[in-house]
Amino acid sequence: MKSSALSLAFVSTESEDARDAAARLSVLYGQEKPENAEVIVALGGDGFMLQTLRDMMGHDKKIYGMNRGTIGFLMNEYREEGLRERIAAAIPETVRPLEMTVTEADGGTRTAMAINEVSLLRQSYQAAKIRISIDGKVRLEELICDGVMVATPAGSTAYNLSAHGPILPLDAPLLALTPVSPFRPRRWRGALLPNQSTVDFSILEHEKRPVNAVADHTEIKSVRHVRVREAHDRTVTLLFDASHSWDERILSEQFRY
């Protein structure tokens, strides 16, 4: 990308810091409509970045984030000077979402997309009982747990990491299958799956032990079956400063103590 010709659209959260930053940057670099801009500059935290990724999915836009939130793992450092040059030199990473297809208690089906993860969580005081199949083959006959999730590389540093799942490089052709508070088998800590895999979760005793399915922020209650697979036809591109690439962040995170 030629830095001098880059058209930018600044979008932000409703926080004062983010709105003020968007106003200043719009004066410095101009403000294009998001549908016409080459690059969307997202100002906020990781939650806002995920929202922006969902909004721009399938629109052939590049997203460059600058942190005006708290964690900012998906964001670059906030600096106002030389922004076009930074974006032109940034490293692109392709993000692919997950598609969740749910069978509800009444037999109806619903679908939802997730950038981070699809998670199944117990709905009551009763632990969930879940059968897990990969590509049509039962791999775990009965998992008794608080929940279980399938996380993308982009989502591997979020809920997945909190549940002691592995951090994945963004370009790794993998998905993380991670349990939440497993009771039986107690020693099972999850699995790494090829990103071509289809994961089926069958909810055992679903009336007695109700389970909710969540695709990022879309929650469906009392499900009977959940199928998860990568949506290969819908992608979005994230841009990272070369001095603080995603790979560097992953290495740094793994050596925190």
Which tens digit of pLDDT belongs to each residue from 149-174? Answer: 999 998 898 899 999 999 898 888 99
Mean pLDDT, residues 55-82 = 90
Same domain, residue pair 146 and 210 = yes
What the block records as the tokens of 70 is 């708290």
Give alpha helix (H) positions in the chain: 16-29, 46-56, 83-89, 159-162, 246-254
Give the domain CATH number at 85: 3.40.50.10330
Same domain, 71 and 180: no
Q: 227-238: per-residue pLDDT in tens?
A: 999 997 888 899
Q: Are residues 74 and 194 in the same domain?
A: no
Buried b / exposed e across 196-210, counting CB within 10 Å, b at 16+? ebebbbbbbebeebb
140 and 92 housed in the same domain: no
Residue 14: what pLDDT?
93
State yes or no: pLDDT of 1 exceeds 70: no
One domain, residues 33 and 85 = yes
Ramachandran sector of residue 146 (left: φ over 0; alpha: ψ -120 to 50; beta: rest): alpha
To the nearest whole number, what is the mean pLDDT of the chain?
91
Read off the pLDDT band of 222 (50, 70, 90). very high
Does residue 46 carry a catalytic annotation?
A: yes
Tokens representing 214 are 């969540």
* pLDDT reported for residue 217: 82
Q: pTM, whole model, 2 decimals?
A: 0.81
From the list 20, 46, 106, 200, the catalytic residue is 46
| Mean predicted confidence (pLDDT) in 187-204 | 96
Same structural domain for residues 219 and 242? Answer: no
Binding-site residue positions for NAD(+): 46-47, 116-117, 146, 154, 157-162
CATH number at residue 219: 2.60.200.30
50 confidence band (pLDDT: 50, 70, 90): confident
Show the domain range for 78. Answer: 3-96+235-254
Does residue 102 sit in the same domain as residue 226?
yes
Q: Known binding site: residues?
A: 46-47, 116-117, 146, 154, 157-162
